[in-house]
Amino acid sequence: MTFRVKHPDRLYIGGEWVPSLDGSPIDIVSPDTEQIVFRVAGAGPRDMDRAVAAAREAFDRGGWSTEPVLERIEAVQRLADALGRRAPELAAAWSVQMGGPTALASHVVGYGTQNLLDAIKIGREFRFEMNPQSAVATLARVVHDPVGVVAAITPWNTPIC
């Protein structure tokens, strides 16, 4: 299986591929061959600030946080479907960059997609709004709404899990 990184010199921030402001390129070295298999853009503090600001802007004005729950679930389903279509390519990339056995690679990639499918199932069943009984009020209402942006450092060994 062959694959390529479409924009190895760029970061995806604010809906577009942009150059890094202060990150150095990162060499991805195969543990099997000790050869550089990819060189990708690295992100630094200003890039993280720019990404968080773009995510906050999208959250506040982009519509995601106000979309109906079912539409958000459908978007996550489209992501899971897209990952499923690219599973062989993602498995090959994982194996090359991690030095992991190719026989295990499809399972590792599958875990990430399965986690999304599990979240979809929970999202379809979760009660985002409810009116529980209250001993202190005639009407109580609990509403679960999106509240903000998270910057996360994901696991390096299985990043889509």
Distance, in Å, from the CA atom of 73 to the CA atom of 118, rounded to the nearest integer, reads 11
Question: Could you tell me the pTM of the whole model?
Answer: 0.80
Taking only the tens of pLDDT, the chain with its 161 residues reads: 456 778 999 999 999 999 999 989 999 898 888 988 889 999 999 999 999 999 999 999 888 888 899 999 999 999 999 999 999 988 988 888 888 888 999 998 899 899 999 999 999 999 999 999 999 999 999 998 888 888 777 776 666 76
**CA nearest neighbour of 20 among 28, 8, 4:** 8
Task: Quickly tell me which residue has 């209402």 as its tokens.
Answer: 141
pLDDT confidence of residue 157: 65
Q: Which CATH superfamily is domain 68-161 in?
A: Aldehyde Dehydrogenase; Chain A, domain 1 (3.40.605.10)
All structural domains of the chain with their residue ranges: 1-62, 68-161
